[in-house]
Amino acid sequence: MVFENSGIENIVAEQTLIQHVMNKHGFNLGGHWDYERVTYDLKYQIEEGVYYLRIPGYAVDGDVGARNATLQMMDPYLGKHYYPTGIEYGEDEYFPEAMVEHCKRTVMNVSNDLRSLLA
């Protein structure tokens, strides 16, 4: 499930600023980073299973590994984890409504915090 037009996809900011805001909202720098790309993950462990809200970005300047990148954020997305195969994002996945609403609020709060710090 992709959260399109959230506003976060228009944000370009220094990696340290984005990291600070993501940490504030409970996101961790996922293991899915390299020198040009980054993914911030928020894990949900609920009765229905394990889900991840992910906010990706890519470096328009600098190096993610050196923590001196300027990041262009991208559309957040939600996936369900299946052991041992990994995370599925397909449209046929079931996402509990309350969790989806929480994800929407979280993305909005992250976007608002980043915008206020960039203003």
* CATH number, domain containing residue 93: 3.30.310.100
Query: Which has more pLDDT, 72 or 64?
Result: 72
> pTM for this structure?
0.92
pLDDT band at 81 (very low <50, low <70, confident <90, very high): very high
Q: Which two tokens stand for residue 14?
A: 């220094």
pLDDT of 14 above 70: yes
How much is the pLDDT for 32? 67
**Does residue 39 belong to any structural domain of this protein?**
yes
**Does residue 50 belong to any structural domain of this protein?**
yes
pLDDT band at 75 (very low <50, low <70, confident <90, very high): very high
What rounded mean pLDDT belongs to the chain?
92
Q: How far apart are CA 103 and CA 117, in angstroms?
A: 21
How much is the pLDDT for 9? 95
